[in-house]
Amino acid sequence: GESVGLHLPTLSVQEGDNSIINCAYSNSASDYFIWYKQESGKGPQFIIDIRSNMDKRQGQRVTVLLNKTVKHLSLQIAATQPGDSAVYFCAESRGAGSYQLTFGKGTKLSVIP
């Protein structure tokens, strides 16, 4: 069935390096994507979003890239810090008229000091 998924369940990076977290989606009608961060003991927290009419969007230390041709989404974190250690989820909206988000399983990012 249609789903949002992630290529890797875990990712370890050295503090100060850049992190790239990937997400694949299968619903070509999806028009809106969000990245969430979930720290231990907390609920998911909105990081950044992107609409399907864009290829790239930048925030503070984070960049989301969208490749609609291959249905791929990535989150890039610059100069990764220990506070970035968390599980990162991508989520997609199924298109116009839908208010439901479909979430991926998540990638656990561990930052090595």
Partner 1 sequence: ETGVTQTPRHLVMGMTNKKSLKCEQHLGHNAMYWYKQSAKKPLELMFVYNFKEQTENNSVPSRFSPECPNSSHLFLHLHTLQPEDSALYLCASSQDLGNYGYTFGSGTRLTVV
Binding site for partner 1 (CB under 8 A): 3-4, 32, 34, 41-46, 49, 89, 91, 93, 99-106
Residues β-bridged to residue 46:
36
- Nearest CB to partner 1, comparing residues 16 and 95: 95
In eight-state DSSP terms, residue 82 is G
Rounded to the nearest whole angstrom, what is the least distance from the CB of residue 94 to partner 1 in the complex?
A: 11
- Nearest CB to partner 1, comparing residues 43 and 113: 43
Strands (E), 2-103: 4-5, 10-14, 19-25, 32-38, 45-51, 56-58, 62-67, 72-77, 86-93, 101-103
| Local structure of 51: helix, strand or coil | strand
Rounded to the nearest whole angstrom, what is the least distance from the CB of residue 21 to partner 1 in the complex?
A: 15
Rounded to the nearest whole angstrom, what is the least distance from the CB of residue 20 to partner 1 in the complex?
A: 21
